[in-house]
Amino acid sequence: MAASESQLIERYFRELGARREDTVLGIGDDAALLRVPGDCELVLTTDALIEGVHFLPGAPARALGHRALAVNLSDIAAMGASPSWALLSLNLPAAEDPWLREFAAGFGALARSHEVALVGGNLSRGALSITVELAGLVPAGQALRRDGAHAGDELYVSGSVGDAAGGLKLLQGEVTAPAAETAYLQRRFEYPTPRVALGAALRGIASACIDVSDGVYIDATRLLAASGCAARIELERLPLSAPLRRAFGELAWRPALCGGEDYELCFTAAPAQAGAVAAAAARTGQAVTRIGALRPGTGLTLAAAGSVMQFSPSAFDHFGD
């Protein structure tokens, strides 16, 4: 006999993630009850992973559990907030124990490492898709928004960009690379590392922030549009990992600029904050790289070898991408 939704939830999800003292009531009632400190704002986000759209059919369940939470943690990180509670809606074609065990292991490990409690959700039969809702807390008035940047600010990105898009191309078999580079880049796609500590450390330092889910070009453009500024990015400054350079050579800048799924932070800060940015990066063990500067106007200009580069991103951000 098939297990019921309640039995599966009990088996795999009941105690998943961290225990938190501010969880009054978790899984098992009509809704969760949670305590939000009076001096904090609540931060809410949701993001979904759909088979065939955001991941390849047959993708490992553990990686999906990790990634479904990671993409949401990245949104919380981009607000400079601390994650706290998650809800999980899982649509599955069939309830297979090994798949669920692996999925829960990937989700649970990342949740525990970020002090996130799983407090609700549901399981349904359907085409494979995973929707996570994540709540976080941020001291009132201190969230990092997209609209706070000013002309004159400097533009930064954390970590390295392009790895995830490179890893996806390798997984899809569109390109090939040596085993070590392939393993590194695929892992960057399957197990993205949300920059939660860095986001929180940038409160009071960064003027605006966004996470890089659709590529630096698109996401920086969104930040600029929200802030009413223009910017110029120096292509040579884009932080590229050694495996990406080795696997993609001269073309590595393309996934770095236009590939998505990196879940790095793209942020701005006044030049006077450069030291504070470096200190926040050092304190959280996170590389950050200044890739350009903001100016009055609109739009994003790219420069290579000191010259403005003609660039027209082909159809990005279409519905369903």
Which of the ranges 154-162, 274-282, 288-296, 311-319 carries the binding residues for its own copies, by CB under 8 A?
A: 311-319
Eight-class DSSP state of 164: H
Please select the residue that binds its own copies; options are 38, 57, 58, 98, rule is CB under 8 A.
Answer: 38
Lookup: tokens for 295: 């100016």
Four-residue CA torsion sign, 176, 177, 180, 182: negative
Which of the ranges 38-46, 171-179, 274-282, 283-291 carries the binding residues for its own copies, by CB under 8 A?
A: 38-46
Task: List Cα–Cα distances, 282 to 197, 206, 272, 285, 287, in angstroms.
Answer: 11, 15, 17, 5, 7
- The footprint of its own copies on residues 146-205 (CB under 8 A) is 146-147
Q: What is the DSSP string of 88-99?
A: EEEEESS--HHH
Three-state DSSP class for 27?
strand
Q: Does 57 bind its own copies (CB under 8 A)?
A: no
- The footprint of its own copies on residues 212-241 (CB under 8 A) is 226
- The footprint of its own copies on residues 107-146 (CB under 8 A) is 119-127, 129, 131, 133, 135-136, 138, 140, 143, 145-146
User: Site map for its own copies, 61-100, x if CB under 8 A?
Assistant: -------------xxx-xx-x---x-xxx-x---x-----
Q: Does 284 bind its own copies (CB under 8 A)?
A: no
Rounded Cα distance, 58 and 23, in Å: 35
Residue 73's nearest CA partner among 129, 133, 16 is 133
Nearer to its own copies by Cβ, of 25 and 180: the residue is 25
Nearer to its own copies by Cβ, of 68 and 165: the residue is 68
- The footprint of its own copies on residues 9-28 (CB under 8 A) is 24-25, 28
Eight-class DSSP state of 284: T
